[in-house]
Structure 1
Amino acid sequence: MIRVVLADDEQLTRQAVASLLGLESDLEVVADVDDGAKALMAIAEHKPDVVVLDVEMPAMDGLRVLEMIDTRAIMLTRHARPGVLRQALSLGAKGFLAKTAPAALLADVIRRVHAGMRYVDPEFAAEALAENPCPLTERELEVLRMVDDSRTAPDIAKALNLSAGTVRNYVSSAMTKLGARSRAQAARMARDNGWI
């Protein structure tokens, strides 16, 4: 039996997938949970062969969970952004597919990943390959990594050992290159593209 932990915040989706996987003679869903923190606890408790993680979950998303485990993982998503695919693969995901995929495909991907292979939804892969490269400098990316609602330019400057004016210049440059209207939008765009 291939032991599986399933983590998805959408209860109906999670329970349906767990039920459908439960019909497979060689798969056993040992836990299904609704957020990343619970996924970590279920992984520690059940020691599954494969973890199926929703990319977007409250409290802790699938990418954060992926950073903290060494279990083979498959990422599920409704809206794959090329950067998220690249980030998931760089963090060690072995599978990446749409939530709209048939249950039989997910079961097959679980078997493949368990056997040491990889699977990436062909549409997601094509989009990632067609995406434009990152136009930002390393320093602009470093500054955008620090941008959130709680940090001011002086806070970021202090953390990066820069002046507040220099931080504002990097943010302004990044906003211009990305066509963003705010520093928060620029940071979100960089995250969505997997650049930070």
Structure 2
Amino acid sequence: MSKTVQVLLVDDHPTVRAGIRSILNENYIEVVAEADSLADARQALVTSRPNVVLLDLGLGRESGMGAVPEFATASSVLVHTVHSDLASEALSRGALGFVAKTAPVGVLVAAVRAVAAGRRYLDPALAADLAIGPARRPMSSRERQVLELLAAGLTNQQVAGVLSISVRTVESVRASLRNRLGLVDRADLVAYARTAGRTGH
């Protein structure tokens, strides 16, 4: 498999960068440049032309948040940080994705691939609390019911039967959830539902 996704890795901890680089390389994602400061990141962005800027927000005495709009004009920005409470701000400034550093390896890999393809991605552990888009609202009881049944492996028809609603209604709820949570297809939605269930969202 060729490495079609190219990443600029911006983090001020060499050990962290080494670990992330190894993870991404093992998953056929190429780290084409690394930076430990915003100045170096700006230069690398021009010279390496990555698909994705994987950006930590805490860069020593600098904050990567202010650079999100700038970087987003040249590449897809995926914020990767310990500051999970900053997801909404990062997304509003132009980041296409947000993943906490506590997220499993599979979530980070999926996020990089999603934003490289121009799709939004929000860490499933945070997505239940944040709606991506102009209207933030809590998940409705109907949406939670559909999610729970999808996570249990039920088909659209089975979900409709259990909830005594039409298949079209189930499909509409699924589409709404995908748009709100930045998910792509049924597999993503089911994976999110199972993760959200484990984290208590």
> TM-score of the superposition, structure 1-length normalised?
0.59
Alignment equivalent of 1:17, drawn from 13, 20, 28: 20
Contact 2:80 2:99 in 1 (8 A): yes
Alignment equivalent of 1:79, drawn from 69, 80, 83: 83
Stretches (4+) displaced over 4 A: none
The whole-number CA distance in structure 2 between the counterparts of 1:90 and 1:53 is 15
The whole-number CA distance in structure 2 between the counterparts of 1:14 and 1:118 is 23
Post-superposition CA distance 1:73-125 (Å, at most 9, x none): 100111311xx222111111111011122223212111111112111123333
- Number of the residue aligned with 2:152: none
Alignment equivalent of 2:32, drawn from 21, 30, 33: 30
1:4-153 aligned within 5 A? 4-25=7-28, 27-69=29-71, 70=73, 71-81=75-85, 84-128=86-130
Contact 2:10 2:35 in 1 (8 A): yes
- Please report how far the alpha carbon of residue 127 of structure 1 lies from its aligned counterpart in structure 2 after TM superposition: 4.3
Give the gaps of 5 or more residues in structure 2: 132-201
1:181-196 aligned within 5 A? none
The whole-number CA distance in structure 2 between the counterparts of 1:58 and 1:67 is 20
Contact 1:3 1:29 in 2 (8 A): yes
The whole-number CA distance in structure 2 between the counterparts of 1:23 and 1:123 is 24
- Please report how far the alpha carbon of residue 64 of structure 1 lies from its aligned counterpart in structure 2 after TM superposition: 1.9
CA shift in 2, pair 1:125/1:108, >3 Å: closer
The whole-number CA distance in structure 2 between the counterparts of 1:57 and 1:104 is 24
| SS of corresponding position for 2:59 | coil
> TM-score of the superposition, structure 2-length normalised?
0.58
Computed over aligned residues only, the root mean square deviation of the Cα atoms, in angstroms, reads 1.9
The whole-number CA distance in structure 2 between the counterparts of 1:112 and 1:4 is 13
Give the gaps of 5 or more residues in structure 1: 130-196
- Please report how far the alpha carbon of residue 59 of structure 1 lies from its aligned counterpart in structure 2 after TM superposition: 4.7
The whole-number CA distance in structure 2 between the counterparts of 1:116 and 1:67 is 16
- Please report how far the alpha carbon of residue 18 of structure 1 lies from its aligned counterpart in structure 2 after TM superposition: 0.7
Contact 2:111 2:122 in 1 (8 A): no
The whole-number CA distance in structure 2 between the counterparts of 1:115 and 1:97 is 16
| SS of corresponding position for 1:4 | strand
- Percent identity reads 37
Post-superposition CA distance 1:165-193 (Å, at most 9, x none): xxxxxxxxxxxxxxxxxxxxxxxxxxxxx
The whole-number CA distance in structure 2 between the counterparts of 1:9 and 1:90 is 24
Which fold has the larger relative contact order, with Cα–Cα distance below 8 Å and residues 6 or more apart in sequence? 1
- Number of the residue aligned with 1:2: 5
